[in-house]
Amino acid sequence: MKIRHILAATALLMHTATTAQNTNLSHRFKAHIDTLASDEYAGRKPQTKGDTLAVNYIIKELKKIGNIKMMGDDGLQVVTVPIKTRVPITNKKELKARAKAKKPAYNLKDETLHTFNVVARIDAPDSNNPNSEAIIIGAHYDHIGYRKNSKGDSVLVRGADDNASGVAFIIEYARSLSEMKNQLQRDVIFICFGAEEMGLLGSKYYAENPLDSLSKVVTMINFDMTGRMKNNGITIRGLASAYEAPALFSTFANPNDLDLIWEFRAKGPTDYRSFYDQGVPSFSFSTRIHSDYHTERDTIDKINFEGMDILFSYAGGVINHFALSKSRVTYRKSTR
Ligand SMILES: [Zn+2]
């Protein structure tokens, strides 16, 4: 469904911290993505040095922001999840037998994955937020490391769009909300998730082991692939996660005439789903999938920084709606 709309901005939306083509913001986005998608970070695959480097970078950047409190162990939540890994079969006779029986050429082995979530918060003044309500803003920081290309060569997949771009949003939303601390009506929790690419593992772990009760969380807003805006197009997922969401989302200011696709599915293929599954109305923003998805061509030179500014501003209106007012939406059970 495509919906274009022109709407009056409310006073709240005037707080949106950025405008399109904000050079300072673009510079910061660029610096974050440049680092996270660098050779040294090697595609930020869980249980590699690049994964640890990414976590350390995000913590370092968040700590530069005023009014921020690191949660967990100085910003870290250690994630340990049971996983099954594939052990390839090498015995030729067995391989033959397996092929004949149409069985896979590997055995599954039980292992434990060790990775991290980075978690921080900016609290509203107590007088504004007597019931300690919160919203969560999140993005996964991990990616897939190396993969085999069509020639069989191992190539580095940097994940500039997927999802260094989303992490850049989280850091910069933290910065802009810290400047509005006194106006906050709810606490804001910022999370960068590990191991999304392995099946939303970091977000699922957090949603099942939250560092602050999810019963007080009014909404979760996720960002996954926010750097490749084309023809002003963005997708907003999760509209089916709350009864009022379709009507509410049609009221947000769209001064840049974004071409909005609303995807209703509450159980979509990224981290908002983990929070939806735990009873939280949850949404996710993206500048949509592209032919460089999960390839060595997902690099910083393809990032549309002006588009990032525009989406940051638009989604900032949504965040402000929940962070600077007492507005809430009602969780809706969905089958999809
Ligand atoms: Zn992603």
> 101-117, pLDDT tens digit by residue?
999 999 999 999 999 99
Distance 99 CA to ligand 1 centre (A): 34
Distance 161 CA to ligand 1 centre (A): 8
Distance 243 CA to ligand 1 centre (A): 26
**Over the stretch 204-233, which tens digit does the pLDDT of each residue have?**
999 999 999 999 999 999 999 999 999 999
Distance 32 CA to ligand 1 centre (A): 16
pLDDT over 50 at 136, yes or no: yes
- The mean pLDDT value for 247-273 works out to 95
Distance 197 CA to ligand 1 centre (A): 7
Distance 106 CA to ligand 1 centre (A): 27
Distance 169 CA to ligand 1 centre (A): 14
pLDDT over 50 at 293, yes or no: yes
Phi/psi-derived region of residue 157, left when phi > 0, alpha when psi is between -120 and 50, beta in every other case = beta
- The mean pLDDT value for 278-295 works out to 97
Distance 107 CA to ligand 1 centre (A): 28
pLDDT cut 90: percent of the chain above it: 91
pLDDT over 90 at 172, yes or no: yes
Q: What is the pLDDT of residue 4?
A: 38
Contact 55, 48 (CB under 8 A): no
- What distances in angstroms separate CA 261 from CA 140, 234, 235, one per listed residue? 22, 6, 5
Distance 141 CA to ligand 1 centre (A): 8
The whole-angstrom separation of Cα 242 and Cα 238 is: 8
Distance 178 CA to ligand 1 centre (A): 26
pLDDT band at 21 (very low <50, low <70, confident <90, very high): low
Distance 286 CA to ligand 1 centre (A): 9
The whole-angstrom separation of Cα 97 and Cα 112 is: 30
Distance 328 CA to ligand 1 centre (A): 27
Distance 160 CA to ligand 1 centre (A): 10
The one-letter code for the residue type at 286 is S
| Beta carbons within 8 Å of 199's beta carbon, 6+ residues apart | none
Least confident of 45-54, 86-95, 123-132, 322-331: 86-95
- The mean pLDDT value for 291-312 works out to 97
Q: What is the pLDDT of residue 331?
A: 98
Distance 163 CA to ligand 1 centre (A): 5
Distance 234 CA to ligand 1 centre (A): 15
The whole-angstrom separation of Cα 201 and Cα 9 is: 38
pLDDT over 50 at 5, yes or no: no
pLDDT band at 336 (very low <50, low <70, confident <90, very high): confident
At the fourth CATH level, which superfamily is domain 2-82+113-323?
Zn peptidases (3.40.630.10)
Distance 291 CA to ligand 1 centre (A): 14
Distance 305 CA to ligand 1 centre (A): 18
- The mean pLDDT value for 117-134 works out to 98
pLDDT over 90 at 139, yes or no: yes
Domain limits, the chain:
2-82+113-323
What's the mean pLDDT when you consider all of the chain?
93
